Structure 1
Amino acid sequence: MNTRPNLFAPDTRANPYPLYAELRRNAPVFQVDPGGFWAISRYDDVLAVLKNPRLYSSEGFLLFSEKPWLPRNALEDTLLAMDPPRHDQLRSLISRAFGAKALARLEPRIRACAEELASRIPSGRTVDFVEAFSMHLPSFVIGTLLGLPTSTHEHFKRWANDMVNVPGVADDDLVTQARTRQSLEEMDRYLNEAMEERRRHPQDDFVSDLLRVQVDGESLTPSEQMGFLNLLLVAGLETTVHLLNFLVQSLAEHPDVLARVREDRSRVPAFIEEVLRYHAPVQSVLRLTTAEVELHGVRLPPGSPVLALIGSANRDETHFNEPDRFDISRTGTNNMPFGHGAHFCIGAALARMEARIAMETLLDRFQRFEVKTDRFEWNYSLTVRGPWVMPVELHAA
């Protein structure tokens, strides 16, 4: 390869996997745009990056979200941009919100929300699945965890979209820059109000826990508290929205699979895992080298920005037989969909539960799924890939 590929080129955004295959074959460590990150594309190399925070620092996440036109970096003081030991100390604080008992209490409320959303989707008419279903279910879940009023839920997706799409905003796109600043200001205002309310009237919820928790005898700083809420809202929403989108797309594209999971609901978890591999909502993670690294003959000096391509690793032919074939009968463990090591996604179990409930609900109500992929509008994020708009027709059972 002689020129830098642009991951945001329209054809690549719609289908990045041919480019990933070329990178794995011919340039497993190669600079890409936007940003000039060093893309690492092979499974073993991506896994090595994720498992070695001392050599590949998570501070790389700050690089792509620092913009002169933003008043602050939304990822500052979040777990995404922290390394051990501070990362491990703070990560333990939110584990209770995602434990088995907490998820069990949430499940009936999530199912009721999913059933209500599905009941509103008209049979045989084209709707935007994002607006009709996939945005609202995780918004309800995150709003419930944070104890935020339902009137705020309608804003979540816009905030999350604007935050994760910061890298794709052009320097001369003043309109999008202004909208993104407005989203950040609104998000800060709502979350600060929620924290002030919990200071006055503590409740049994995540925000109240966050305000009273201590690490080594010290409370979290206001910036760390805000960072936790930003991360939970943005990361917990964005990845799950796109997972739900890709679940429906996969049912539409593979009617034989639809028939199998409809016949035997015990196959739903395997179906979800294959969607996570094949359509990878989380496409990459960003890291920063802390020392010189030589990989496949390429020398990366300290401070080099690295893009570990999870979406490519999930299609690596050295680890997956016929990786471009959608197959829910695959065996073995794929460590990539939610990251690996210290930064394995703490909300993975919640996302899987939301996906399972969504699938069970949609399969109960609809017999046939049609997705108009030629009318997708894709987001522009280095880390998360999915459609902003997803026209579908769902036909009642």
Structure 2
Amino acid sequence: MTATVPEMPDMMSEEFARDPHKYYKIMRDHYPVVYHEASGYYFLSRFEDVANAYRDSEAFSNENYGFQMEPVIGRTVIQMGGREHVVHRQLVAPTLRGSYLQELIPQVDEIATQMIDEIEPGESVDLVEGFTRWFPINVIVRMLDLPKEDIPRFHDWYSSLMAFLGNLTQDPDIHAWGMRTQKEFPAYMLPLIAERRKNPGDDFISRLFDAEVDGEKYTDEQIKSLVGLLLIAGGETTDKAIASTLKHLLQRPDQLEAVKKDPSLATKALVENLRYHPPVQIILRTAVNDIEVSGTKIPAGSVIGLVNGAANRDERRYPDPDTFDIYRDDIPIKGAFGGSADHIAFALGRHFCVGSLLAKRESETAVTQLLEKFPNIRFADGYEPEDEGMFTRGPKDLLVNLT
């Protein structure tokens, strides 16, 4: 008797949005390459296919960022290739992975402590609105040495950037929101950068003035674009990583108790969350030439969605992939935040997220400090968390009892 092949739903449907992991499995097993007719994109779901696409930057380029991001924030390292990418990555890496990161860590911890101390205990406290949504943007504003009253403005900008980035349906309201940011963000940043050149300090922007590789230095326009990239890569994604890790621990009291007793396990919980439910579910690439993937021919110039959320639960790669397990031994902590990681959450290879170590520290300190401050934390009575988002995904709220 022949088994019936499940129907593949529209990736933009409500049923897909409610439970993408249900359909990710159908994709991996029966439709490893999905062509989405409305957008013209091809989506890859198997670990091997997704990993190969990340690692082969000659066959899969970042040209798509030319329409995904550049119209709003300008050209950045994320869309560069070849020598240009190498030079610009070397320019920014010391500020996000070097000595500056070590200087920043105490400030990250301080910001977390201040924000957590301001949380009012109660029977139904929303940790997304009350903490995770605002913590990463507070860190970024501190890095840029900007007034705290500008935090809501930066949050609006990075929210519009993320929406523009994932505007698969070309929603005109999202496009218009992005175009407003295209005007407002440079009008704010460029005069500020010019002033910092005259009076530099110890902030992220000032440190970029001295960065130089092979005689190349950052222009004001390039610094403005890089700050925009920092907002995208370091804002909503870290927010969702923290909220999702907390959610998954709260759903598993035994693992939650283990992290409370041994805070070093918070890193394991974070890494397992990056595998089990990566905050960035889909990253786009562009096919440089005609190529065949899992038996499907993809024409040159096609935009390809690499579905991290599906690849990270591929049975061909991980045993028992639908189980959240902080004791999993097939993803070593060492290397989990570098280009050779054994999970796909920050991409792989030469375009691996340069800010991953900052995200690691923010997430670790957020989880450990929250559990230390509120050891009796549990879900609010009758509450069931729900995730939202397609390109980035995480809890839309996180109602907890902190009494």
**Normalising by structure 2, what TM-score?**
0.88
Pairing 1:119–2:127 present: no
Q: Secondary structure at the match of 2:301?
A: coil
The 2-side partners of 1:338 and 1:86 are apart by 21
- Structure 2: runs of 5 or more not aligned: 332-341
What is the match of residue 348 of structure 1? 356
Task: Indicate how the Cα distance of structure 1 residues 394 and 32 shifts in structure 2: closer, same or farther if over 3 A, else same.
Answer: farther
What is the match of residue 293 of structure 1? 291
CA drift of 1:86 comes to 0.8
Query: Which deviations, in whole Å up to 9, do the C-alpha atoms of 1:177-227 show, x marking residues without a partner?
Result: 444333333222222232022122112222123344444434434442222
Aligned positions of 1:311-326 closer than 5 A: 311-326=309-324
Q: Secondary structure at the match of 1:73?
A: helix
Aligned positions of 1:124-135 closer than 5 A: 124-135=122-133
Amino acid at match of 2:345: P
Pairing 1:370–2:374 present: no
Pairing 1:58–2:67 present: no
Bigger shift: residues 211-220 or 275-284: 211-220
Task: Indicate how the Cα distance of structure 1 residues 140 and 46 shifts in structure 2: closer, same or farther if over 3 A, else same.
Answer: same
CA drift of 1:100 comes to 4.6
The 2-side partners of 1:321 and 1:99 are apart by 32
Task: Indicate how the Cα distance of structure 1 residues 31 and 5 shifts in structure 2: closer, same or farther if over 3 A, else same.
Answer: farther
CA drift of 1:376 comes to 4.5
Pairing 1:338–2:320 present: no
Amino acid at match of 2:21: Y
Amino acid at match of 2:388: W
Aligned positions of 1:48-87 closer than 5 A: 48-65=52-69, 73-74=71-72, 76-87=74-85
Which of 202, 205, 217 does residue 204 from structure 1 map onto?
202
The 2-side partners of 1:158 and 1:295 are apart by 38
Task: Indicate how the Cα distance of structure 1 residues 4 and 181 shifts in structure 2: closer, same or farther if over 3 A, else same.
Answer: farther
Residues 40 and 302, structure 2, Cα contact 8 Å, conserved in 1: no
The 1-side partners of 2:327 and 2:180 are apart by 46
Task: Indicate how the Cα distance of structure 1 residues 309 and 137 shifts in structure 2: closer, same or farther if over 3 A, else same.
Answer: same
Amino acid at match of 1:201: N
Task: Indicate how the Cα distance of structure 1 residues 140 and 59 shifts in structure 2: closer, same or farther if over 3 A, else same.
Answer: same
Give the number of aligned pairs: 386
Which of 238, 241, 249 does residue 240 from structure 1 map onto?
238
Pairing 1:168–2:172 present: no
CA drift of 1:145 comes to 1.9
**Normalising by structure 1, what TM-score?**
0.89
Q: Secondary structure at the match of 2:115?
A: helix
Pairing 1:42–2:46 present: yes
The 2-side partners of 1:343 and 1:173 are apart by 30
Amino acid at match of 2:311: A
Query: Which deviations, in whole Å up to 9, do the C-alpha atoms of 1:52-89 show, x marking residues without a partner?
Result: 11100011233445xxxxxx612541122112221111
What is the match of residue 392 of structure 1? 399
Pairing 1:145–2:143 present: yes
The 1-side partners of 2:385 and 2:159 are apart by 19
The 1-side partners of 2:401 and 2:290 are apart by 52
Amino acid at match of 1:283: Q
Residues 76 and 222, structure 2, Cα contact 8 Å, conserved in 1: yes
Residues 211 and 218, structure 2, Cα contact 8 Å, conserved in 1: yes
